Amino acid sequence: MEKERLQFLMSVSSSIIYTRKPHAGYGINFISNNVSQYLGYRPEEFINNPGLWSNRIHYEDQMRVLSEIPRLFEKDCYTYEYRFRSKDGEYRWMFDDMRLIRDKNGNPTDIIGYLVDITHRKQMEVLLRQAQLEAELANRAKSEFIANMSDELRSPLNSIIGFSEVLIGQDFGPLNEKQKNYAEHIFTSGKKLISLIDAILDIVLIDTDNYEQNISFFSLKNTINNLLILTREKAANNGLKVSLEVDENIGKINCDEQRLTQIIYSLLSNAIKFTPQGGKVCIRAKRINSEIEISVYDTGIGIAKKDMDQLFQPFNQVNSSIKKEYKGIGLGLALAKRLIKLLNGKIWVESEGPGKGSVFKFIFPC
């Protein structure tokens, strides 16, 4: 009764159970009946023909499999995968798990194991690799297209900016007030477009691993001070108070100054942009062991918890009302996150909710 019960359990199992001899040839001396269901051979074919198993292994896998079996005697267990020719001539991928049985003196007596048909899994792996390759090729083509388009757009835009600057300077004759306003509008719009193109190109270069870093030794405090000077007029127009707090023990740091400047400028510009009249913005920098933490605080519109995950996505602002009130396409934070990753750092945001301000923090090794 027990034998019949065991045979039934093995027949409905998805695994082929076997035992084999622990010496040269590793001939099979027992194999469950369900081998017929999966490989087409009857159990007695394996038992009566000791070489059937090894001779049906795919020639590309045969040498590897037979040469690796001796490892079983070192670890008492071993698993591997190989292609096996079923009786209909088709090759099936098999997962083979072996265990070595020893007597009380430690001498090998039997090998027990099981086989599982993993052909479907292997086919899915091939399809996945193919899909990944196609996605990489498509992404590369997209990146090359964007990079080429950026270069093509930059040339005429530089001409537009240059000639509008000449008009504003009135080098070739005076302009009336309306003409001057138009020329200034052309110049400002051209500069914004150049900034947009540069941001898109930066994201493309980072995503395709073509971004080069330029490490140098510089004063973090001086770098941030320069950014405050750059944004002073914009902050003043918004009636904002901007302050800076840098720990004296930071001094000079070794980093990519250009990329760090881009990150801080993006966060500072956002803080100024989204802080109402009379508000406050503060940049703080401190050293934490071998890392630098920079925080940009503001008393602005704040962020709901449900919107925080969207903040660092390209071309995204948290809701349509903000997008209408505060102009922008939502590339600054996406680029900042990618640049911080290049510096082996991380960025996050904290806010108690809408109307309660926010703080963007990032940390990087230095």
Looking at residue 9, its pLDDT comes to 58
Residues 223 and 335 occupy one common structural domain = yes
Residues 300 and 358 occupy one common structural domain = yes
Domain count, the chain: 3
Residues 134 and 166 occupy one common structural domain = yes
Which of 237, 263, 266 lies closest to 329 in space, CA to CA? 266
Residues 30 and 137 occupy one common structural domain = no
Residues 50 and 13 occupy one common structural domain = yes
Residues 70 and 88 occupy one common structural domain = yes
Residues 219 and 358 occupy one common structural domain = yes
Written in H, E and C, the secondary structure of the chain is CHHHHHHHHHHHCCEEEEEECCCCCCCEEEECCCHHHHHCCCHHHHHHCCCHHHHCECHHHHHHHHHHHHHHHHHCEEEEEEEEECCCCCEEEEEEEEEEEECCCCCEEEEEEEEEECHHHHHHHHHHHHHHHHHHHHHHHHHHHHHHHHHHHHHHHHHHHHHHHHHHHCCCCCCCHHHHHHHHHHHHHHHHHHHHHHHHHHHHHHHCCCCCCCEEEEEHHHHHHHHHHHHHHHHHHCCCEEEEEECCCCCEEEEEHHHHHHHHHHHHHHHHHCCCCCCEEEEEEEEECCEEEEEEEECCCCCCHHHHHHCCCCCCCCCHHHHHHCCCCCCHHHHHHHHHHHCCCEEEEECCCCCCCEEEEEEEEC
Looking at residue 320, its pLDDT comes to 46
Range(s) of the domain holding residue 48: 2-117
Write the CATH number for 98: 3.30.450.20
pTM exceeds 0.75 for this model: no
Residues 220 and 355 occupy one common structural domain = yes
Looking at residue 93, its pLDDT comes to 96
Looking at residue 314, its pLDDT comes to 65
Nearest-angstrom CA–CA distance, 311 and 358:
12
Return per-residue pLDDT of the chain as tens, 366 residues: 455 555 555 655 678 999 988 887 788 889 998 999 999 999 999 999 988 998 999 999 999 998 888 888 888 888 989 999 999 999 999 999 999 999 999 899 999 999 999 999 999 999 999 998 888 888 777 777 777 777 777 788 888 888 888 888 888 888 888 888 888 888 888 877 877 777 777 766 666 666 677 888 899 999 999 888 888 888 888 899 999 999 888 888 989 898 899 899 889 988 998 899 989 999 999 998 889 999 999 999 988 888 877 777 765 555 544 544 545 555 778 888 888 888 889 999 999 888 889 999 999 987
Looking at residue 315, its pLDDT comes to 56
Looking at residue 318, its pLDDT comes to 54
Looking at residue 324, its pLDDT comes to 46
Write the CATH number for 300: 3.30.565.10
Looking at residue 205, its pLDDT comes to 66
Looking at residue 182, its pLDDT comes to 87
